[in-house]
């Protein structure tokens, strides 16, 4: 019996209703269906008295989701897709993302086209697009980094952000990319993003848009204190090691979803993950079309001033 999964946003009535209907429909057509909520992939936020509270990467996989599952249908918005990616990436399960939210930048289809999409998937009429993910790990006691184990870890599809509280306060970071010489950067915060994340927070902060298939990462200072501190794009083979040069705690956020406090003796290492987010594409992936439809990139300037006769 073929096996499929459904991951849905349980705080949205529409997603809950569709998940129940879809489970019944697939079961009647001979599928073994397993349900999970997107809440299972939410990282949660640490508290000052529990600065490194987290769930290990491989513990976010929902019960009975495994590599025998042919696909998982994700019902929600971009936040649900980000959570679902952390849940299924360790098993390599492809995701069919169905937009029940607003922007839906990461989704493939809409609810009103769901029946046709499922039919195409059952017939095998689709391709799989792999998107790079990152592992973000926090290590304590930077002077014993080679022997210490991580105290916090997470999978990341969009970006990692490290900043002070409040965000409008500047601090210093010592950053090393791969084996290159360390650099010092003064800014309100630091963003390290994937190509997928280049259209998220990094874009809002002034970063470049990177097409998904390019094997690079982007480091973006938030409101840097120097004209020389600009966004940097570099090979995804190079890990990024960040040391906070600041006497108080910082805050790290992953995919805008959860994170932990970073103390002065900690360091953060960001590198390409061994897992990829696998998206089911019903048509050929056309990134520029998505940029145009979702973000208005490249639209023609059709509003032109009319000629006015002066009196």
The annotation places the binding site at 78-79, 158-159, 188, 199-204, 257
DSSP 30-55: T-EEEEEEGGGG---B-BTTBTT---
Active-site residue 255, yes or no? Answer: no
Residues whose CB falls within 8 Å of the CB of residue 251, separated by 6 or more in sequence, listed in order: 162, 163, 164, 165, 259, 260, 261, 262
End-to-end CA distance of the chain: 80
Asked if 120 and 108 count as a contact pair (C-beta separation under 8 A), the reply is no
Run of H or E including 260: strand 258-262
Integer Cα distance of 186 and 191 in angstroms: 13
| Binding site listing for NAD(+) | 78-79, 158-159, 188, 199-204, 257
- Phi, psi of 19, deg, nearest 5: -60, -45
* Active-site position among 10, 78, 255, 266: 78
| Cα atoms in the 13 Å half-sphere on the side-chain side of 225 | 12
Residues that are catalytic? 78
């Amino acid at each position: 019996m073929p096996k499929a999964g459904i991951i849905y946003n349980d705080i949205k009535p529409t997603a809950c209703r569709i998940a129940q209907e879809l489970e019944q429909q697939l079961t009647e057509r001979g599928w073994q269906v397993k349900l999970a909520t997107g809440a299972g992939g939410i990282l949660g936020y640490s508290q000052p008295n529990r600065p490194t509270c987290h769930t290990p990467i491989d513990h976010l996989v929902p019960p009975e989701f495994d590599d025998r599952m042919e696909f998982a249908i994700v019902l929600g918005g971009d936040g649900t897709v980000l959570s679902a990616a952390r849940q299924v990436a360790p098993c390599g399960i492809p995701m069919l993302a169905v937009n029940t939210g607003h922007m839906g930048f990461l989704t493939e289809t809409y609810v009103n086209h769901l029946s046709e999409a499922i039919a195409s998937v059952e017939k095998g009429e689709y391709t799989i697009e792999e998107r790079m993910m990152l592992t973000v790990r926090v290590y304590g006691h930077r002077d014993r980094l080679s022997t210490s184990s991580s105290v916090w870890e997470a999978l990341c599809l969009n970006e990692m952000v490290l900043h002070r509280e409040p965000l409008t306060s500047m601090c210093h970071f010592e950053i090393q990319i791969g084996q290159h010489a360390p650099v010092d950067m003064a800014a309100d915060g630091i963003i390290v993003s994937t190509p997928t994340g280049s259209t998220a927070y990094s874009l809002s902060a002034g970063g470049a848009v990177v097409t998904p298939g390019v094997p690079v990462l982007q480091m973006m200072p938030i409101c840097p204190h120097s004209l020389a501190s600009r966004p940097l794009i570099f090979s995804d083979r190079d890990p990024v090691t960040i040391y906070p040069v600041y006497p108080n705690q910082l805050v790290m956020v992953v995919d805008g979803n959860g994170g932990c406090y970073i103390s002065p003796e900690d360091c953060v290492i960001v590198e390409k993950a061994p897992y990829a987010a696998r998206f089911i594409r019903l048509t050929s992936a056309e990134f520029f079309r998505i940029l145009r439809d979702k973000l208005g990139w490249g639209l023609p300037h059709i509003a032109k001033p009319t000629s006015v006769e002066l009196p």
